[in-house]
Amino acid sequence: MRNAVNWLLESATWKTVYSKTEQKHFRFKVNFITLTVPKIEGRDISSKELKALLHNWLVYSRKYFYMKNYVWKIERGKLGKLHIHLTTDTFIHYRKLRDSWNRLLMKSGYSDTYYSRTGHYDPNSTDVHSVKSIKNLAGYICKYMSKETELGADWTGRLWGCNYELSAGISVVTLQTQVN
């Protein structure tokens, strides 16, 4: 995972993004996103269900946000809620991020309990962490994403992943290092 994050940060270029609310431009290189799933009444989301949600969101993001490079990790928080940490070099407006994730949650029935309590399908299920002032960004993201987590006995499959191009880049770098 550390290699994937380092490769992402190394390949990311600085971009200029315009903020309509602040009416100014700002520089952007990478973001750090958290996607959460609201508690479901009487049960927990399975690994298969969470991976399907993540897969669908990644497909959507590649198509509509033109997201190419990303690294993700699934973990369970202190309160027992499963969530996904994701870092990418693609700017995604916080509202579009939340709308796209909540639309998937609603379509899959994972926000029904939330709706029954609040009367709407717009839980605060996403978070974008500011990383612009962090000096050792690679160290920060790697530390955050590589913490040990207990997902439960029923968990099967991968805990983290990245896009194919980053994975291929890691393989090339690893092979070059081994040859030299």
pLDDT digits (tens, 9 = 90+) for 26-56: 888 888 899 998 877 777 777 788 889 999 9
CA–chain centroid gap for 84, Å, is 5
In angstroms, the CA 112 to CA 61 distance is 23
Q: What is the mean pLDDT of the chain?
A: 81
SS3 content of the chain, % helix, strand, coil (to 5): 40, 20, 35
Contact residues for 19 (Cβ-Cβ < 8 A; gap 6+): 25, 26
- For residue 167, the model assigns a pLDDT of 78
Nearest CA to 30 out of 147, 140, 158 is that of 140
Sign of CA dihedral 93, 81, 131, 70: negative
Sequence letter at residue 98: R
Confirm if 15 and 27 have CB atoms less than 8 A apart. yes
Read off φ and ψ for residue 120, nearest 5 degrees.
Answer: -145, 160
The rounded distance, in Å, linking the Cα atoms of 40 and 45 is 7
CB of 6 within 8 A of CB of 173?
no
Distance, in Å, from the CA atom of 164 to the CA atom of 61, rounded to the nearest integer, reads 15
**Pairing status of strand 160-162 against strand 82-88:** unpaired
Q: Would you place residue 180 in the very low, low, confident or very high pLDDT band (cuts 50, 70, 90)?
A: very low
Greater model confidence, 34 or 147:
34
pLDDT given for residue 29 in this prediction: 87
pLDDT tens digit sequence for 67-99: 999 999 888 777 777 789 899 999 999 999 999
Displacement of CA 18 from its chain's centroid (Å)? 22
The answer to whether the predicted template modeling score (pTM) of the entire model surpasses 0.75 is yes
